[in-house]
Amino acid sequence: MDELIPLLPKLATATYETLYIVALSLVFGGVGGLVLGLGLYTTRPGSLYPNRPVSAVLNILVNVFRPIPFIIFLAAAQPLARLVVGVGIGNSAIIFTLSLAAAFGISRIVEQNLMTVQPGVIEAARSVGASRLRIIGTVVLPEALGPLILGYTFVLVALTDMSAVAGLVGGGGLGTFAIQYGYRQFEPVVTWAAVIVIIVFVQAVQALGNWLARKAFRR
């Protein structure tokens, strides 16, 4: 226990860095995934903008990138990170790569959740003269809001998991903290402290997600 006390400020910083990395990745990856997911959903046959070629391209794109293990993706995408955010290492690089990887994963979650929307309600909206764009904004997304919130909660937890390897490219956060001060120094108590912070965080996120989803479902 004594070895942990002097490290507490570092643990606080690491916690803040994890929150920062995860939050920004959720924003960028979440928006990217939403757009990509809407693309997958709307271009399906019989959907609002059926388009076989576009649908095929999007599907191939998602199927190629989604299964790559994040630790490999992080290394492989480093040149791209350097190109886009200017640096290949540190928190900016990890946020960029995490957002990119998350977007592919989220797109499928979005697509699947949007597919639960009853075709009948879309037909009802079309029958009163609503435009397709309006239908996406005022019918499709609101009707799928409950499952979407649960999907994004799942993603947030997954991002916390993925962010732990940030140390590989010189990023910070709880993963880096646990490896550097716990594992390398043979101090399991320090590692466990990081684990406990992550557990608390994940529990809080899941509880919040469930609560919001329940409000959306009104159940």
Partner 1 sequence: MPLVSLRDVRKTFPSATRGAPPVTAVDGVDLDIEAGEVFGIVGYSGAGKSTLMRLVNGLEPVTSGSITVGGTELNGLPERELRRLRIGIGMIFQQFNLFTSKTVRGNVSYPLRVAGTPRTEIDRRVDELLGFVGLADKAGSHPEQLSGGQKQRVGIARALATSPRLLLADEATSALDPETTHEVLGLLKRVNEELGVTMIVITHEMDVVQTLADKVAVMDGGRVVEQGDVFDVFSAPQQPSSRRFVSTVVRGVPSADEQAVLRARHPGRLVTLSFHDAGSTQAEVFSALSRAGLGFELVFGGVNDIRGRVFGHLTLALTGPDAVVEQALGTLPDGVTVTRLPNGDVRG
Q: Which residues contact 85 (CB under 8 A, 6 or more apart)?
A: 92, 93, 95, 96
Whole-number minimum distance, CB 43 to partner 1, in Å? 17
Whole-number minimum distance, CB 118 to partner 1, in Å? 7
96 neighbors 81 (Cβ within 8 angstroms): yes
Helix (H, G, I), strand (E, B) or coil at 116: coil
Q: Any idea what the Cα angle at residue 51 is, between residues 45 and 56, rounded to 5°?
A: 90
Whole-number minimum distance, CB 131 to partner 1, in Å? 6
Residue number, 5 or 118, with CB nearest to partner 1: 118
Binding site for partner 1 (CB under 8 A): 118, 120-121, 123-131, 134, 138-139, 142-143, 145, 216, 218
**Half-sphere exposure (Cβ direction) of 8: Cα atoms closer than 13 Å:** 4
d(CA 20, CA 174) in angstroms, rounded, equals 11
Residue number, 84 or 216, with CB nearest to partner 1: 216
Whole-number minimum distance, CB 16 to partner 1, in Å? 36
Residue number, 9 or 45, with CB nearest to partner 1: 45
Residue number, 183 or 211, with CB nearest to partner 1: 211
Residue number, 67 or 142, with CB nearest to partner 1: 142
175 neighbors 165 (Cβ within 8 angstroms): yes
93 neighbors 87 (Cβ within 8 angstroms): yes
- Tokens 């590692």 locate to 191
Whole-number minimum distance, CB 211 to partner 1, in Å? 18
d(CA 22, CA 29) in angstroms, rounded, equals 10
